[in-house]
Amino acid sequence: MNTEMNIEKFRHLIDAYGAEPERWPVEHRAGLLEFARVDDAGAEILTRARQLDQLLDDYSVSTSPDLPARILHQISGRTTIFDRMFDWLMPSNPALVWRPVLASALPLVVGLVFGANVSLLPDQFADLLDGNGDLYTADDEIYLIALATDDDYE
């Protein structure tokens, strides 16, 4: 058994470089192979590392088709606030369709909340009522102003 190699060093090197001897540092390769051959715990660590390497090699990441375009767009550095707002409001991912719905429903909700909490004719607007209690309209004044000439304002 290699006197330089111990279980801690073996585990550290296998964790760092994986189970493939081609990836191991050349100066430790012979010691790692020898330790895995003569030590049962080392062989078990190497077996588990091979299983993990195989799982990682078999795993494939699914990406959206527009990912390269989005990355290039972000790298370009020309993203203005309007570009970001447009991207937020018009997402390319169908799972984010709630964004434009929220943006379009927000004024409606704010209007409903505001309208439900504001009195139509509070006391401070009482001067807008005529003598009969009807809402005063400015139609008569607009009519008179339309008839006025520049000489009337001097």
145 occurs within a structural domain: no
Judgement on whether residues 30 and 53 belong to the same structural domain of the protein: yes
2 occurs within a structural domain: no
Count of beta carbons in the 10 Å neighbourhood of residue 5: 21
Give the Å distances, CA to CA, from 149 to 16, 115, 145, 154.
92, 40, 8, 10
Per-residue pLDDT of the chain (154 residues; tens, 9 = 90+): 445 788 999 999 999 999 999 999 999 999 999 999 999 999 999 999 999 999 998 998 888 888 888 888 777 766 678 888 888 888 888 888 888 888 889 999 998 888 777 665 555 555 565 666 566 566 666 776 777 777 766 6
d(CA 44, CA 47): 5
Structural contact between residues 17 and 25, judged by C-beta atoms closer than 8 angstroms: yes
112 occurs within a structural domain: yes
37 occurs within a structural domain: yes
Residue type for 70, please? R
d(CA 31, CA 28): 5
51 occurs within a structural domain: yes
Q: pTM of the predicted model, to two decimals?
A: 0.41
d(CA 48, CA 37): 15
Judgement on whether residues 26 and 48 belong to the same structural domain of the protein: yes
**Secondary structure (3-state) at 3:** coil
Judgement on whether residues 54 and 95 belong to the same structural domain of the protein: no
Judgement on whether residues 44 and 88 belong to the same structural domain of the protein: no
For 28, the domain range is 7-58
132 occurs within a structural domain: no
149 occurs within a structural domain: no
Tally of domains within the chain: 2
d(CA 15, CA 13): 5
Q: What is the largest CA-CA distance in the chain?
A: 116
138 occurs within a structural domain: no
